[in-house]
Structure formats: C-alpha cells, structure tokens
Structure 1
Amino acid sequence: MTTLFPTPGPGPEPVPLRPGRKLGPVAATVGSAHRAWLDPTRERYLTSGRTLGDLSRSVPLAKSKLSELLRGVGHYPRWEVIHRLAEELGIPGWPLHRLWKQAAVDAGKSRDWIDRSTEKVVTVAPSGPPLEHGALRSMAAEGYLSYAGVFLPDPAARDAAVEDTFAILWLSFGDALASPDTRRYAWEILRATVHAKADHRDHRPLLAEAAFDTVALREQTSAEGEMAQLTESLELFAAISRLPDAQLDVLVLRRLCGLGTEKVSDLLGIPLAAVRSNERHAERFLEDTIELPEAGGTAP
C-alpha cells in the first residue's frame, strides 16, 4: 500500500545537556485534557536545549514556577503565560490555545476567568498547519467522526474530540513524521482522545448508546422487533467493549461504521493483513461470548 507521507529523514541532532536540576515528571493528578497540551509543550522544551533560567527571563515566571507549570503542579496557568512560553519555544499558538481553553473548562475555570486570562494577548491567528497535516485530515476526518460517534453520541462532544485530535497532532507533528507511520501515530491520538471523553465501565469505554442508532434497529417495523434488536445490540456492544484496543478499533470501524478493509487499513495505518487478522480474532471472541448476528451491510 502506498504511504501518504514521506519517510522521515535522519533524526535531529542530540540535544546538549542543560545545567541544573532535571525537570520532574507530570503530576499524577493532571487530567487528560490538561495533558493534551502539556505533554507536547514539555517535549518541545526538553528538545529545545533551553533552560528554565533562560526561559524565565522572557516568560513572566520564576524558574520554580516554570518547573511547576511544566509538571502540571499548582494552579492552572493563565493563557498569557502559556502564550509567552509558546512564543519562546516556537509552538503554534492556535492549536495550543484550543487545547488550553478546553482544559481550563475541565478544570472548572469560568468563562470570565478564561476571557480575563486572554485579554492581554493579541488574538491568536489560526495559522495553517503543515501540508502533510492537511492531507491526513482530508483522508481521515470522516472516518474519525464515525468512530468517535460510536462512543460519543452527542454531536458536539464527537466533533470536539476530533478537533482536539487534530490540534494535538499539529502540536506534535514533528514526532508524527518521525514515527513509523503518521497515520498510526494520529490514530493513537484519536483513540486516546475519544476514550478519555467516553463513559467507562471496568476501565473500558462503553458503546451501549450506539445501540439506539443502528441500521438494523431503524429497519425494525414492530415494537417486538425493536426490543429484540435492542437487547441483541446491547449484548453485542458490551462484548465488543471488552476487546483489546486493536480488535476493538477494527470491529467498530467494520461493523458499526460499515467501512471496508482498505479504508480501515488507511485510517489505522496498518496492513490489510493486520485488519483481517484482528477482525477474525475479534469475531472468534464474540462467537464464543454471544450469538453473533450476520454482518450483511458491511463493506468488503
């Protein structure tokens, strides 16, 4: 299969050792929305060769406070500080601002606090992402929305998850290009973003809401048929949610989104043989667990 993106060249030159204490890990209390922008920002700092003392001369924070910010410790940071840090580290402002704002909402910050935090900053212009980013988005956006919709039935939550995915991908696109397959790198971001927003049971994302929007259910003409199909669908989706991630992704895309194997291969960034293998293993598990319905409407 032809790869959509160029093979990465030689890796970057080693970053010189910086003086001073090593930056500590991200705090365990930092949530997924906060980490969505914090992890790429930390990575950019760690690969920049800059020191906290150097940055503190341009960013209005002491070294100790910058260290806390980059570990997710203390109060949630104001945008004017993050904006200055982004300028110093060469981080694109628009995707960073989107993810910062989402995390601020999740952290319980009011709209007034968010507005006051940005009032001293020049409006963030949505400068264009790398061309390869746009190409991947054109290829994958529709499939991403279909997948996200299975876990997030609220259209606003579904759309936000996909937009967040592309924002995170933009921030870390250098790492994406250096990975074995950019599509696979992007899919891992999508899965993590969607699953973080989904309801869970026993640490697994729930698909049960999707039972109310299946083609088979809509085609039923009697109340008895609807109830039987609903019960069957709920049982099926509960079983699918227990699959390993790779098999879960393939089954959701194939059975619930109705995508063909080649499209699934493109979205996941894995060979066709891997798609078919994951599908076979998943179906065996489901057959051992429940009575599996026919997949009559699934594309080849």
Structure 2
Amino acid sequence: MNDSSAPDGARLRLTYEAFCRTHERAWRGFARTQVGAHQDAAELVVADMKRHLHRNWELALRQEIPAAYAWRLLKEHIGSWLDTQAQPTAVQTAALDAVISGFCRRARWSLENLPEQLGLLSAILALPERQRDIVVLTYCLDLDDDEAAAYLSTPATTLRSNRRHARRRLAAAIGRPDLAEKEVEA
C-alpha cells in the first residue's frame, strides 16, 4: 500500500488501521486455535498476515467483503506456519483441546468421559473446513452470526444452517444424537 502523505494515502492508512482494530481479536483467537500452545506463533502469524494485508490493502478494499479476503489471508498464513512445523497435526490437536472446552461450554454439551471428548476432537477435525470454521468462530470465539458470516463470505442464514449440520455431525460422531438439537443462540 502506498503510504504517501497525500490525502488518499492517509485515508488508506486510517481505513486499514480501523479495519485491523475491528477484526484483530477474532484473527488472534482463530490463530490460537490453530497453533496451540505456540502463543507467540499466533501473534507472529497474525502480524505476518497484517503486513500482507497492508501491502494489498487497496486490493482488499475492492473485494465484495474485505473481511472475507482478510480471513482467507489469515488461513493461508496459518497453513504456511503449520507447514514449517515438524508435527503440524500434533500442534492442531493441542489447539483444538481448547476448542473442545469452548464448544462444550457455549453449546451446553456435557461430555462425561475422555472417549467422548476424544471423539469430539476427532469429529471436529473431520468436519468440512467451512463447518469447522463456523464451530470455532461461533462457539469458541463467541462471534455473532453476522460477524462470523462476513468472515466466511456467506449469509447468516447459511451459517446457521451449516452450524446445525455441524452439530448433528458432531453429536452423531460421539454417539449422542440427543445433543444435536440443543441449539443455543451463538
């Protein structure tokens, strides 16, 4: 991004900074769910993504939904970071342990034993990417439907439908179909 002293350059800088302030909490939260105990790594991944976004800010503004463009960049940067790790699956599994507790709390699911918890972890990992993102965004990061939908460039009604399907899949995977219908407003 051209950061000249011209009014357009200042306006671009201000819009970029405001955009980052608005979305950075969700970016960091999501990065933490992907890189696990590597807290510093989550910060580095988000910082790298922000630099990438800064360089391409004018392109981001031309997108129909700039938040969805930034979300794709974040996921690319997380993927690149995971590719550099010796055991990326172990990193993601550790990260998803926090996702499980957040999901159970928000979804009001009570899992009594370790096999159910491990089953939920496996089921979350097996979800299609879109549904996995929805689970993390709405249940773990506590984003409202409209905000989560904007990141995924989808209508809120579609997000809710995908979330219901994800809940059903997760409940079936752990042998607790009774939990699927206990939807709470996310």
Q: Once the two structures are superposed, what CA deviation does each residue of 1:2-57 show, in whole Å capped at 9, x if it has no partner? A: xxxxxxxxxxxxxxxxxxxxxxxxxxxxxxxxxxxxxxxxxxxxxxxxxxxxxxxx
Larger RCO (CA under 8 A, 6+ residues apart): 2
Q: Is the 8 A contact 1:184 1:270 kept in 2?
A: no
> Which residue number corresponds to residue 268 of structure 1?
152
Q: Where in structure 2 are the equivalents of 1:1-300 lying within 5 Å? A: 130-153=13-36, 154-198=38-82, 200-201=88-89, 206-211=92-97, 214=101, 228=113, 230-291=114-175, 294=179, 300=186
Aligned length: 167
TM superposition shift of 1:299: 5.0
Coordinate RMSD, CA, aligned = 3.5
Relative to structure 1, is the Cα distance of residues 298 and 137 closer, same or farther in structure 2, using a 3 angstrom cutoff?
farther
- TM-score, normalized by length of structure 2? 0.71
Q: Provide Cα deviations, 1:193-218, integer angstroms capped at 9, x if missing partner.
A: 123323544xxx83444325725899
- Residue 298 to residue 195, structure 1, CA distance change in 2 (3 Å): farther
Question: Closer, same or farther in 2 for the Cα pair 1:291/1:139, shift >3 Å?
Answer: farther
Relative distance call for 1:167 and 1:130 in structure 2 (3 A) is same
Deviation at 1:180? 1.9
Counterpart-to-counterpart distance in 1, 2:131 and 2:155:
14
* TM-score when normalising by structure 1: 0.47
User: Deviation of residue 234 (structure 1)?
Assistant: 2.9
For structure 2, list consecutive stretches of 5 or more residues without a partner in the other structure.
4-9
Select the structure that is richer in helix.
2
Any stretches of 5+ residues in structure 1 without a counterpart? Answer: 1-89, 93-126, 219-224
> Alignment partner of 2:158: what SS?
helix
Deviation for aligned residue 1:260: 2.5
